[in-house]
Amino acid sequence: MNRKRIARIMRERDIRGATRRKHRSLTRPDKKAKPAPDLIGRDFHAERPGTKLVGDITCLPTAEGWLYLACWPDLATREVVGYAMADHHRADLAVDALDMAHGRSGLEPGCVIHSDRGSEYTSTRFTGRIRELRLRQSCGRTGSCFDNATAESFWALLKEEIGTRTWPDRATTRAEVFNFIETFYNRRRPRKHKTFGYPTPVETRQRHQHTLAA
């Protein structure tokens, strides 16, 4: 069909296409901080859970102001094992999400924690928590989204699924993000796995645990 006819039908039925809006990057590197080396090297695979996590922070618009979301997906399962939301994107936001990941999934000592070089991740607060948990920090290069491609891909999926509209308040946004992560993404969305076929992230973790137990 002619695209003008499609446009007319969409107008008549009040149908609108979903588009990704461009936002300025939240990454603000601290020029005085010394970033950790890149231990990932764009190899976004892990043999077992709890050995490699990638993280990032994004913002969602609400009528009350921005809601900032920090997440830590596990590269072995793609399960979001830790996340936190707040009205700020200080280092505490990244630390809270990391603490959830550590308590929830039992990260192995020496687990690689990969992020960009934003000041939240190079701060004394965050690097100190990394040492306390006996983990290893990794940072990609400044201005290179490909060095943290898995985290960027997760943001794109989240915003396609829940939309990029302005929510009426932060509480509503929190509920939608929680529902997306816990109900849909972790437990219902299958992905291709070279060994297990097409399991969800939670099923992938469970199968890894079963294999290790066996």
- From CA 23, how far away is CA 101, in angstroms rounded? 27
Is 94 in contact with 102 (CB distance < 8 Å)? no
Q: Which helix (H) or strand (E) holds 201?
A: helix 201-213
pLDDT tops 70 at residue 28: no
Report the pLDDT value the prediction gives residue 21, as an integer from 0 to 100.
53
pLDDT tops 90 at residue 129: yes
Is 42 in contact with 69 (CB distance < 8 Å)? no
pLDDT tops 90 at residue 167: yes
Give per-residue pLDDT as tens, 45-68: 999 999 999 999 999 999 999 999
Instruction: Count Cβ atoms within 10 A of the Cβ of residue 24 and give its class: 0-12 exposed, 13-18 middle, 19 or more buried.
Output: exposed
Give per-residue pLDDT as tens, 67-121: 999 999 999 999 999 999 999 999 999 999 999 999 988 899 999 999 998 889 9
Contacts 24+ apart (CB under 8 A), 17-22: 18/160, 18/163, 18/164, 19/164, 20/156, 20/159, 20/160, 20/164, 21/164
Percent over 70 (pLDDT), the chain: 91
Residues in Cβ contact with 60 at an 8 Å cutoff, skipping those fewer than 6 apart: 66, 67, 68, 69, 164, 167, 173, 177
Report the pLDDT value the prediction gives residue 208, as an integer from 0 to 100.
86
Report the pLDDT value the prediction gives residue 12, as an integer from 0 to 100.
87
Mean pLDDT throughout 190-196? 83
Confidence of residue 209 (pLDDT cuts 50, 70, 90): confident
Report the pLDDT value the prediction gives residue 196, as an integer from 0 to 100.
82
